[in-house]
Amino acid sequence: MKVADLMTRDVHTCTIDDSLNGAARIMWDHDCGCAPVVDAHGKLVGIVTDRDICMAAYTQGVPLDAIRVERVMSARVISCGRGDELETAHQLMRTHEIHRLPVVDTRGRPIGILSLSDVINHWHGDRAAEQAVEIAATFSAIRRRRERTAAAHAASNGDTPNGDAASSQVSAKPPPKRKRTRASKPSADLS
């Protein structure tokens, strides 16, 4: 099976000069967890996720309208082509520890998105058990990436692995829950 058979074709992009507020609006309006970032010629130059936006809001302390997409996007973006085999795309996800792949045309312009959800929803039948193991391995790879990122962040803040630094002590009490001010949309994406 080819990537074109499963990818989401209705891809919504933002530019490097758009604000994070604009990128968040795209994700809310189109019920997706990321937006490919394009240059003035429509060529893929990055990707911004809902998590990128959330972390920028937390760490920068300014309104999302004041933060350009270029400041927080991942410029190292892995993509695939519409004619690639589904197994090849899934291997890219596992190797690069990601769960979304922009699909680009021959000029590097986004024409779709393939998510791990798309792969999961397709695989079934005689190979279901084998495919479940492959999907679990991909989720494990993505989780390892987050663990490494969290460890690197803690180290850059002066935290030590054994928790000696005062800044690494965390209260066992969870933060208070906030009421939602807007109804949440169901997501077809895994994150």
The Cα 186–Cα 180 span in angstroms is: 14
Bin 108: left if φ > 0, else alpha if -120 < ψ < 50, else beta. Answer: left
What pLDDT sits at residue 87? 86
Give the tokens for residue 27. Answer: 């994700």
Other Cβ atoms closer than 10 A to 42 = 14
What pLDDT sits at residue 99? 84
User: How many percent of the chain have pLDDT more than 70?
Assistant: 63
pLDDT at 166 over 80: no
Residue 15 covered by a domain: yes
Residue 9 covered by a domain: yes
Number of domains in the chain: 1
pLDDT in tens, 58-74: 999 999 999 999 999 99
pLDDT tier for residue 121 given thresholds of 50, 70 and 90: confident
Q: Is the pTM of this model over 0.85?
A: no
Domain span holding position 112: 3-153
Residue 81 covered by a domain: yes
Percentage helix, strand, coil for the chain under 3-state DSSP, each rounded to 5? 45, 15, 40
pLDDT (average), residues 14-23: 96
129 φ/ψ angles, rounded to the nearest 5 degrees: -65, -45
The Cα 117–Cα 189 span in angstroms is: 6
Q: Average pLDDT of the chain?
A: 78
More confident residue, 163 or 82: 82
CATH of the domain at 118: 3.10.580.10
Residue 177 covered by a domain: no
Residue 45 covered by a domain: yes
pLDDT (average), residues 25-48: 95
Residue 111 covered by a domain: yes
The Cα 78–Cα 29 span in angstroms is: 24
Residue 137 covered by a domain: yes
Residue 181 covered by a domain: no
What pLDDT sits at residue 180? 41
